Amino acid sequence: MIELRPSRRRKAIGIGCLCLGPVGLILPILPGFIFVGLGTFILRDQYVWAYRGVSVIDRRWPHLIPGIEAREVKAMEWGDRQIERVKSVFRRG
Task: Outline where the chain has alpha helix (H).
Answer: 8-26, 32-42, 48-60, 64-92
Which pLDDT does position 93 carry in this prediction? 60
Cα–Cα distance for residue pair 76/74, rounded to 1 Å: 6
Is 30 in contact with 62 (CB distance < 8 Å)? no
- Give the span between the Cα atoms of 44 and 34, in whole angstroms: 15
pLDDT means per 10 residues, the chain with 93 residues, are 78 89 86 86 88 88 87 86 90 71
Position 34 scores a pLDDT of 86
